[in-house]
């Protein structure tokens, strides 16, 4: 297994994560919906864009500072919300948010986190966003908003692409459960992950920390927490509900999961300040378009009325550059930092951030661009459709 310092790109971190984790955990991170076409396409779509260099421009100082969501970040990308980090490493959400803070970037905490939003707020002073769903239990949704205000979260992010869970077949084949259950049938896939098992003894708290009190209060007894949460996804949610939520939040309000220009226009109308152009990393609707291909059509419709953040498939610094050159204000990553977390906790997340940061700096210098804010249409070319 390569050491962290021998991981020279995100693909290496992925390999290390695969060796470190029991199969159900690795495939929960790594997998997507149905045939995983959208998931693969998210990354492959970046290959449809060429970068155009210009030389002799003094590239001694490369500036990655990015203003987005009312705050200045040191990097042009941040960490997307991902649930259940305790499954991957005992450093869990705290390791990821501390790594983000050390790199001067934003951490997004998922509703499905295994650390409470208060504990994350107490762990770092860095910028933080809370990702929310409009759940059937509207009281809980309202309570999240209040807790985020009290804990000083900069931004609120409503995920809209999850009226129900996507069809993730790898989880079915691997018997993925939350909390993890070790049975004679799946023992082999756990039995080889000695370190992961050993660390269970340090902290085996796999609770969904932001909602557990609600389940206790409802006295659901043996009902598994995950069943409660699954029962809370509300297929009746509409733009009126999103407007209701936006009204309750004073700061930057992000809608995550937008792919169509029509939805982007609705987001403007209900008072959102930013979009995360995303298909949930290809984990929800199979055949959804790659986010990088959605930037230009959305920009054409909304102009500068909203900030655009692109999330999905980013594995290289050049991917971030291609998104920014097309008009994204910032990018965000999911699996790359989770592979890091699984590979080595907070240090592993920091390795992922270092790799992407270094790749962006190097590529910008090779392009003759001094600042991410200088990127524009002259820096890329869209190649003709190949199929
Ligand atoms: C996610 N994602 C996600 N999104 C969200 O809004 N709420 C959530 O709880 C989760 N949970 C989650 C778990 C795991 C294991 C993954 C991989 C992803 C989606 C995430 O925020 C982001 O949109 C994608 O991960 C981006 O694609 P990449 O960077 O993973 O290719």
CA of 44 to the centre of ligand 1 (A): 18
Each residue's pLDDT expressed in tens, for the chain with a length of 387 residues: 889 999 999 999 999 999 999 999 999 999 999 999 999 999 999 999 999 999 999 999 999 999 999 999 999 999 999 999 999 999 999 999 999 999 999 999 999 999 999 999 999 999 999 999 999 999 999 999 999 999 999 999 999 999 999 999 999 998 888 888 888 877 877 877 888 988 888 888 888 899 888 877 665 554 567 778 888 899 999 999 999 999 999 999 999 999 999 999 999 999 999 999 999 999 999 999 999 999 999 999 999 999 999 999 999 999 999 999 999 999 999 999 999 999 999 999 999 999 999 999 999 999 999 999 999 999 999 997 554
The CA 279 to ligand 1 mean position distance, Å, reads: 9
Answer yes or no: pTM beyond 0.90.
yes
* Residue 45, both tokens: 């779509």
Pocket test for ligand 1, best of 29, 40, 79, 83 (most atoms within 8 A of CB): 83
Q: Give the tokens for residue 357.
A: 């940061």
Q: Which domains does the chain have, with CATH numbers?
A: 4-382 (3.20.20.70)
The encoded tokens of residue 338 equal 């989770």
Query: What angle, 0 to 180 degrees and rounded to 10, lies between the N-to-C axes of helices 239-248 and 261-269?
Result: 40
Is the ipTM above a cut-off of 0.90? yes
Calpha distance 206→86 (Å, rounded) = 6
Cα of 227 vs centre of ligand 1, distance in Å, is: 19
Phi-psi region of 90 (alpha: psi -120 to 50; beta: other; left: phi over 0): alpha
Q: Which residues are catalytic?
A: 280
Burial class (CB in 10 A: 0-12, 13-18, 19+), 229: buried
């Amino acid at each position: 297994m390569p050491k962290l310092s021998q991981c020279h790109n995100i693909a290496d971190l992925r390999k290390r994560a695969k060796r470190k984790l029991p199969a159900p955990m690795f495939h929960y991170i790594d997998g997507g919906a149905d045939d995983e076409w959208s998931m693969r396409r998210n990354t492959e779509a970046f290959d449809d864009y060429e970068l155009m260099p210009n030389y002799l421009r003094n590239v001694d100082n490369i500036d990655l500072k990015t203003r987005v969501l009312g705050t200045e970040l040191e990097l042009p990308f941040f960490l997307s919300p991902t649930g259940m980090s305790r499954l991957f490493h005992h450093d869990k959400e705290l390791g990821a948010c501390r790594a983000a803070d050390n790199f001067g970037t934003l951490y997004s905490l998922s509703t499905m986190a295994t650390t409470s939003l208060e504990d994350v707020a107490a762990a770092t002073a860095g910028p933080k966003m809370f990702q929310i769903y409009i759940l059937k239990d509207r009281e809980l949704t309202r309570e999240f908003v209040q807790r985020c205000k009290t804990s000083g979260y900069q931004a609120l992010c409503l995920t809209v692409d999850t009226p129900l869970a996507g069809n993730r077949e790898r989880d079915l084949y691997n018997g993925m459960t939350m909390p993890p259950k070790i049975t004679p049938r799946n023992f082999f896939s756990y039995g080889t992950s000695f370190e992961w098992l050993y660390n269970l003894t340090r902290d085996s708290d796999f609770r969904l920390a932001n909602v557990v009190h609600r389940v206790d209060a409802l006295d659901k007894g043996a009902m598994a927490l995950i069943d409660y949460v699954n029962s809370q996804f509300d297929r009746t949610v509409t733009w009126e509900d999103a407007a209701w939520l936006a009204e309750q939040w004073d700061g930057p309000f992000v809608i995550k999961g937008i792919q169509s220009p029509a939805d982007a226009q609705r987001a403007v109308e209900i008072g959102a300040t930013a979009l995360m152009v995303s298909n949930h990393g290809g984990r929800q609707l199979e055949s959804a378009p790659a986010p990088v291909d959605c930037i230009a059509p959305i920009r054409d419709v909304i102009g500068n009325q909203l900030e655009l953040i692109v999330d999905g498939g980013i594995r290289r610094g050049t991917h971030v550059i291609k998104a920014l050159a097309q008009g994204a204000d910032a990018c965000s990553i999911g699996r790359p930092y989770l592979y890091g977390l699984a590979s080595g906790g907070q240090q592993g997340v920091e390795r992922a951030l270092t790799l992407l940061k270094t790749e962006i700096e190097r590529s910008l210098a090779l392009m003759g661009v001094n600042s991410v804010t200088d990127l524009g249409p002259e820096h890329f070319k869209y190649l003709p459709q190949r199929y």
